[in-house]
Every structure is written in structure tokens, then in C-alpha cells.
Structure 1
Amino acid sequence: MSLSHPIPVGLDPLILPAEPGPAVPIDPERRRGRGAESNRSGRFEKLAFVPFDDGWQSLDELPPFKTEVQVEKARKIITRNESPDISFDRSINPYRGCEHGCVYCFARPTHAYMGLSAGLDFESKLFAKPDAAKLLERELSAEGYKPRTIAIGTNTDPYQPIEKTHRIMREILEVLDRFGHPVAIVTKSALVLRDVDILSRMAERGLAKVALSVTTLDRKLARAMEPRAATPTRRLEAIRGLAQAGVPVGVMTAPLIPALNDSEIERILDAAAAQGATEAGYVLLRLPLEVSELFREWLARNYPDRYRHVMSVLRSMRGGADYDAEWGKRMRGDGPYAWQIGRRFELAVKRLGLNRRTTRLRTDLFAPPIARGGQLSLF
């Protein structure tokens, strides 16, 4: 019984194939509760494995995609960047891959570095970094380390479902709290409220703030687009819970997808402000590398009547392409429609009094604990 067929797409490992085999939609029953429609081989692979029916209904016997978690032994935990259009220069990713399954996630292409697909593999074959807290403590204790805000949740969500059992994010927060180090978190999960005790304690010293990503208030759209993330209602409840605990909290209307959820800008900001959000931001849909095809597959299946319109407007903001990675444009887009989105956002923010004062986290409280047997400084 043959379940997959290898198609050679290149013999020289130095020549990367632009099209590593055709994408084949996976049976809906096998990918129930997942975001991606397919599981195309990674772009660095020399062989693409494509499922096919050999006439014996073999595909019907394949099991559903289950979440698998492997341990990743990282050597360092703080990732540095020099991108001029983002507000932080360092971040932490407790996990690789994300079970939330957001079909538009710009981090999906990173799974290719593990020899896996940016499609269903990204949301079902996950990697956890259980040594993250120990690595962080070592890096923060290094001689000459200069503190600046660490961003968490900018790539994959630190509060995705597997965090309930792995608790890596909580261990990281305990280290940051002990060191007096500032942290900014972005998440789609109400699980962040589990750690409100640490976050409120850090917030009292000006060391923590959180942003909830709310892409839509439409439960049907949210379920299709972000199948295992918290419902819109639960995210708003998380904003309220954090605000009541004294944690500065904001809302990210990200990503904004033209002709799909951009009509909700004002309603999302209204709802978040009513729950206690004081800051807001937005990012236009980004479709780098494999994400472009994955999103178009999803859009064609779930919203076929809007497919042409969504992609036409998006390309009008991306210079005629699905994506423009140019710094300064990749987050906001360009052209009249992009300007309109930006202006609507600005007017809503002004009307609601958001962003009047942005929370600047402190770095002057940073003080690595003295190691056991260590010596106090005289000065």
C-alpha cells in the first residue's frame, strides 16, 4: 500500500527549488481543528512527498494530525535583531511552532529550518525549550549585559495550549522578576491570566506590559482563521483581568486583512478600550514565502466569494505582489487603501483616548541576584 510518492525537485543541495512539489489539500477530517489546508514539504527539502490515492482508499486510513511536542536543546534563548521598523532589539521564543494554527502566521516559514512543513506541521509538530529559564538566567548574568525590554510572543505565542503543562513561560517570568528585567508580551491566549500574580508584581515596578491580539469579534471567522486560539470574548476578558490587576495592557488589531476583517477596526478598539486597554497598534497582513500559498488556499476554501477582492486589494498595498518585505512598508503597506486603514485607526485611537501615554518600562532596576558563594561589591 503506497501512501506517498516522492517527487525529485533538485539534486544539488546548494540549488534551492522554488517550487518543492505541488500542495495537496488534506482531508478535512484529518485536519479538524487546524488552520492550514495542506502540508507541503519544506522549501529546503530535495524531495517533496505528495499523498495520492492508489485506488484502495488508502488515504481514508491515515490518522488525524495530532499535536506532538519535541524537546529542543537551545544553546541561547535571547534572540537579537537589528530591524529598524520594530521597537525591540531582543526577544524570547519559548516554543517553535504554534498550536493556535493561525493560517496567516508569518512565523510559519521558520519550520522549514527543521525540515518540516510550514503548513500542518507548523501547528502540530511543536518544539519546546524546557531549559529556557536556565539559559536566560545565564545570559542575564553575563558580564557586560545591558538590559533592554525583552519582547515575548512576537514570533510564536508563549501562551499556546502546550504552555498549560510545560509552564516554560512562567519560569521565564520568574527569572525576569527576580532580575528586575523589563518584559513586553503579545498573546492571543487568556492563559496569560494564570501568571497575573507575577505580572502585577512586575508592573508595580514598571517592568511589564501585555498586549492581546484581537483580530476579529466574529466567532465564526476567528474559529476558521485561528482555530485553537482563545475566542474573541475570552481575549477581551483577559484584557479586563490584566487591567484590573494593574498590568498595563494594550490591544493589537493584527493582522488587518483587507475586505475580511478591516471593517472591524473601530469595533475592536471600542471593545478593548471598554475593558481597560490603554494602548493599541495594528499590522497589515504579511504573506512571506510559504504563507502566501497557505493563506490563499484557506481563503479559497473558506471565503471563495471574497477571494479575488481580498487578494486584489492586498496586492494594491504591496506593489502588485502578495508581499513586500521592505522595511517601513512590510507592517503598514502602501497606497490609498493602506492610507485609509491607517487614518481610520488613528481617528479611532484618538476618539477613545488610546496611546495618550505609552508605558515605558524601566531598566534601572536590573540587578542580577548574587550567586551562592558570590561576593558582594564594595561599590
Structure 2
Amino acid sequence: MSENGPTGVETLPPGVIDMPAALAGCRGRLVERARLEWRPADRGDPAALAEEFLTAHGLSVADLTRPAAHRSDGVCGAALYVSAAAGALMTAAPPGAPTPAPALPELVAVVYGHADETIPARRPALAGADGWWLGDWQESWTPRQHAEAVEAVRAAIGRGDVYQVNLVGHAAARYAGDPLPALARLGALPGARYGGTLTGADWAIGCASPETLIEVDAGRLITRPIKGTRPATAAGRRDLLASTKERAEHVMIVDLERNDLARIARTGSVRVDELFAVRRWCDLWQAESTVSAAAGDGLGLADLLRAVCPGGSVTGAPKLAALHEIAALEPVGRGAGMGALGWVGPGRVDLGLTIRTAAADAGRLHVWAGGGITWGSDPAAEVAEAAAKSGPLRAVLAAG
């Protein structure tokens, strides 16, 4: 586990912070003050470590219901990243196959303060070569293997082991040049509510996620699960709204999210504010709901993370049983995909689910995509849906 204070990080090249959900008015003045990077070999509980680290560096996250105000002369907030594997460990589930990008930590917390003046926009580079080149994508499984995994989930549903499982595939491509500009451009994709980047010494994450994993504001908990996808055409929208299979799949996840929030909410406060609203991300229609609740007294960040990680829309129902199926079927780990990335500030938490997310290590770019599998799933259609979700990311990353 690495933990750096101001002396260790102030030697990094400065630049405008591009973190998802960071305060827009502060992004040009943010300076890194402290950083925690955790991997399973470090041992310990990642949820507790995140809470302890942020509290020690001036963010009151032990009680998220307590009013707190943003101060321009103090700590602004912190970037927080929790991988799907770290989330699985928080629920005592198997972490799954080894990550294809071991340079990436499984938990990152970066505390930021304010500089006295605006910092020029500059980015540290992961590679020194001029120009940009991206090689061919190498898939972690073939379309046939993906389809066979879909059938394995359908068999598990038939046995009564699970109701739904989200299956995720991975692809990697070698690159030359600096990947950070390409990763940063992901945030400009239409519908990228959590568009932005997070970087380390030899890794970077770029996010274009439209999905809210958890938001806490003034003691109110909000999650916005997305489940159900069609091409962004008039016919695709009609088909999504009329699909009994997609609606049933969606309602299962909404119920799961209601149960997750109920574990940390004031009794009787959980409600569905919006159900099956159709919204657009790039060239896809997606169905989204909004579930909210009043936070339980004394709710801290560690208990919040344990309740919502990993996200229900990228695991399945029941969540623990789905995680066991995922660990058995997916050939490589989820790395930066299907985790949480966002901002923790005074009195506020806003974490996006890292769908539509890419990562870079010293030699390769990585992308992840998948979908929810139910008894009514068609294997060929599921393979095509995963390709449709990763397509816009691959196009932006290849553009250079």
C-alpha cells in the first residue's frame, strides 16, 4: 500500500484536474495533497482504509449525514476509485479472475487542496514517444466463448441459482505515444455524466460513464441504475419501451438497488422516483431508473461502499450468487471496469459506475463491456450488445 504526502506528489507536473464529479469552479485550482493506492497484497479492508485515510486528511466522511461546507482555503475534496474486485472483497465474494492490468491499484483516494491561482492545463505523459498509434484489439474471449458463457448463466438460472448475471468481456491493444489525450476525450462522448480521468505513476483511467452508482447530498442517497439497451433510432426506442424482457431485467436490478439502499437508509425511506426512463448515450438508448432514500443516522463512507459496491447493474441478482457465477465464467478480471469513480467532498459523495471506461498501463489500453443475462437472453444478441457498447470507446481511442 502506498501513501504519499505533499512532498511526494508536488514534484509531479501540474495540470487541470479532470476528475468526474469534481466541483467545476475548482478544477483549475486543484493541487494534489495526499494519495492512497491499495492492492490486495497490502491486506486490510479497502472500505475502512478509504474512510480512515480521507478522515485523516481533513474530510469528515465518518458521518455523511453531518452538514459540512466547502471552503476555498481548505481541502476541496478527493477523487475516489474502487475497482470491481475491491467491491467484491467488501462483500466477502470471490474477486474473480486476475486483472489484465496489474499496474492499476484496486483502490485509489487522492486528496486535493486549492492553489492560490489557476494552474495551466498540462498533463503528465505515460509514454514519451511522439505521435499516437493504437494496434489491433485482442479480445479476452471469442464470440463463441462469450455465447457459451451466456448459455452457462441461463443454465444457472434454470437451476434456480440466480435470476440474472451481468457478464463482462475485455479487450486490450498495444499503443505508442501518450494515451492521456485519448483517454481524456472519452469524457466528451454524449451522455458521459461521469466523464474524466484519473492517473497514477504508470497507469491511467478514462471514463465516459452515464450511470450514477451512488450520490449522497444533504443526507439523501441516490442511485440511478441503467439496464436495457437498444440502437438510438426511433425503432430502437419503441422496441426498448415495448420489450417485456428488458423491463423485467431492469425491474430486478431496481429491486436489488432498493435492497442495497435499505441496508443503510432510514427505515421506510426508500422510494423509486423514476422507473424505466429512456435516455441516450452516444448511439444507444438505455433505460434508467432513479432510486433514493434518507441516509441512516451516522452513515459513514465505509458502510456506504460496502452496501453499494460492486454495483447491482453490473453484478446481478441475488448479488452474492451472481458474483460467484462471474468469478467462474469471466476469463480475466474487470480491472478498471464495473467499479466506482468520482468525488468525495464536504457533505457530498458522487460516484459513477465505471461502465464505458478504459484504462492504460505502460504497454496496453484496456476496455471492458458486457450486459445482463436473463433466462430470455439470446447469446448472439448479447455478444452484439457488448460490441455496441465498446464501439464508441474504441473509435475515440483510435482517433489519436
TM-score range relative to shorter protein:
under 0.3
- Structure scoring higher RCO (CA < 8 A, sep ≥ 6) equals 2
TM-score, with structure 1 as normaliser: 0.27
Which structure has the bigger radius of gyration? 1
TM-score, with structure 2 as normaliser: 0.26
